[in-house]
Structure 1
Amino acid sequence: LQMDVNKLNITLLRIFRQGVAAALGLLPQQVHINRLIEKKNCVELFVSPLNRKPGIAEALPSEEVLRSLNINILHQSLSQFGITEVSPEKNVLQGQHEADKIWSKEGFYAVVIFLSIFVILVTCLMVLYRLKEKIQLSLRQEKEKKQEIHLSPLPLQTSQSKTTNSMVQPEQAPKVVNVVVDPQGQCVPELKPPLCASPSPFRMKPVGLQERRGSNVSLTLDMSSLGSVEPFVAVPTPREKVAMEYLQSAGRILTRQQLRDAVACSHLLQTEFMEIPMNFVDPKEIDIPSHGTKNRYKTILPNPLSRVYLKPKNPSDSLSTYINANYIRGYGGKEKAFIATQGPMINTVNDFWQMVWQEDSPVIVMITKLKEKNEKCVLYWPEKRGIYGKVEVLVNSVQECENYTVRQLTIKQGSQSRSVKHYWYTSWPDHKTPDSAQPLLQLMLDVEEDRVESPGRGPVVVHC
């Protein structure tokens, strides 16, 4: 149009529709104005049949409409609008028609077929799932039948031997153990007490290994009680006497058959393990005021008979001699083959490196992460170079292995220097055991190789 479409009002649009209807030879009711297009300055129309049913708007094809259009009448009746072009456009109701076709007879059949296929697939999956459950149930029942083993009572006899400092083989009265495997596969030991043996002095609730170690107990310091402790006397305490008596009455050597039976029923081993007295040290047994400030856990203390003594910085300062560490015997009863200690704390890092230097340790083994839920160990080694008290630590190289990291260190004090290897086992899960023992065995082989290649040097330091 030459006329601006924005100036078209209702009256002009009615005149425009009547003029188009006259040019097409139709009634004005058959011509419909769809929209005004400002960008092209045009009017979009469509034509519907006269005999259309109510609710159905089937527009006539644009080619058919143009064939019946009389251009002369169009220009005469609508000369004021200045019509410049008449062109066919898409069917304005095409989208609606396509939507209506979806619910036609063909569309209905397509929906029915789709739903039928969906129901068939779901039914097949349910049948397969039920078959899988039945197969698993039958396999489980067969396995339970195979585990229904009835063992006759085994009299466990032990020989008498004298108690030594390194091994206890006490006198043991005959004990009868019945092992029964119930249908659920659980081993239930039935222990018959000996006729002439004193009952165990310990009856404790079964607890996990971590609770027995005490590593789930957070550090709580009572500084008032640490300042005044009783003098330590190197004599067996009543607790130690009771524990020794129990070990003397309960220890025994298993035959191969008894060992196989015990492995077949791990619950029996767990029950026996729970009866072993816990080796907790009374804080009063350590005659060092305020030693609790150097303990990560208040219930895990070093054994006074085998703990590591640091050379004092001041003869009157007994706390400077204390570190939570113990010597451990090695294979064949070798004394001081290892040192077991806690993960260094921020106030014990200098003590740790003083111990490594004092004991001339060739290897350090770290079996913990720095933080697992709570802090387990501080970062006590430097990235390149660090000084801890009187000990200087240099990191020469770092080797990343699959389950652990190896650092080659050089430690110096004064004019002397030594080489130390640091193994950090990073795959040990918190409060759990590793899924496979192979990485740990490889670590042990590497550590043992380094220890053998360092003759004349001190114990291997291990901490968690």
Structure 2
Amino acid sequence: MTRDGTARTPGPGDARLGPQGGQQLSQNALRHNCRSDHWCRRLWKAGITAGGFLALCVLSQITGVWVLFVINGYGAFPAAHKVLDLMQYLLSPLGAEEMSQSLRKELWRMETLCPLLATLFLGIIILGIGVLYCLRTMSPGCFPAFPEDRRRSMSRQPSFTYSEWSDAREEDLFELEAVPETPVFDCFADTKAETDPVTLTVKQVGLQERRGSNVSLTLDMCTPGCTEPYGALLSPGEQSARDHLLKASNVLSAEQLRTRALDDAALQAEFFETPMNFADPKEYDYPGVVRKNRYKTLVPNPRSRVCLKATDRDDFLSTYINANYMRGYGGEEKVYIATQGPTVNTVSDFWRMVWQECSPVIVMLTNVEEKNEKCTEYWPEDGVTYDGIEISVTRLIRADDYRLRIFALKCDGEERSLRLYWYTSWPDQKTPDKAPPLLELVLEVEEVRLRAPPKSGPVIVHCSAGIGRTGCFIATTILCKQLKNEGVVDILKTMCQLRLDRGGMIQTPEQYQFVHHVLSLYEKKLSCSVEE
């Protein structure tokens, strides 16, 4: 590259630079050509933009003058003729002196000039906007971009104000935005063969992953996973992430919990330092598996994934469902199942899982649609049959923040009862507007689980992706039990435990903060109960 910025052609003297030097010169020349093409495209866009705004400005002026003539008594066509005469005068002022004098006299006889003034003002505004757009096209970095969809920002400060929960109805809790999916979350659809349930993939912490960004829900941000037993043949980064998830802990007393819940900066830093532990979609490289994932890069962690029973064990697709067993309080195995919101392709698989696992309760934490589809309406209005499982609704209860459907399930002569709690007050990748209703639901579901028949299986919890709202609900349930039994909570350790079972659980820092606030509320309720 020469001083004037042009690309220099490599000569014989450049041979001493070796292959790397020649490659560097080629890269510089290519970079210069790309920069030139980029500026040409900017100039072309600026020219098109300027022409468009200029045409819009002229059209607005012509329309305004025409309206002025119409208001002052001319018909539509005579007014248009007058406008044409005026344009002819403006385009050839030296050859139409007589016409100009008559037009000036006629304009001064107008009853009102307000439309003309308004037209001129509109033209000035259009020209001003056009100039700004052209400048922004030429140098986009000089002007701040307007904020995009709120799902792009996953680490904004919460908008709620924390109080002492004196009335147990704290409103205006914080608002978010990823991803994401989602998953975005959005988010914000997901994919490896796994027959050995003792395998787990732990990946190194990446930038998007640390931030809980919605981008991490839509990009392939995972490195190739490990198919060896849990902990074997891990890279240094993966080993570090695994050790962090196994050892991270921050035990909080009741007083420390109240203080910690107010420290937004510390909570966000703690959240960002914790690996997400997403599984690698390449681990599920089987035909047709991608159609069973709602989000492309969100797949179940292999070690703890739920395997559906199938007549043909070689048919991996029939055994696959995007769901993971989750440990509960004290590390108890298979207390919950975290899964994605069923899709049209997986409704039958979902009900097979419900029957296979003898689940007494389903908790749904998403609306069917939130800008786009978040979950298929997988339950019947009256009755339906999936793979020999007869499902019928026996009762519907409508509460302020959730709906409860009680189902009767029949299969092979056996009959069971199932409860579906549909919590509708929790927006995607946000936090609920009010904490007390969610806490009440958590406690009610736990009570129903404890009163379920002895052979009952895990509680199934899902939102859309099955990691954000689902992680908050399961973590809150575990931590409420810990706080009640031990008088302390370890929210960080609980989040790490969940992420070892299913990657990305508790998806955003705002959700992590919300869990602290819900636990603060529950601690206060426990204190009030003791005093009474």
Q: What TM-score results when the alignment is normalised by the length of structure 1?
A: 0.50
Q: Which has the higher contact order (CA 8 A, sep 6+)?
A: 2
Which has more strand, going by share of residues? 1
Which has more helix, going by share of residues? 2
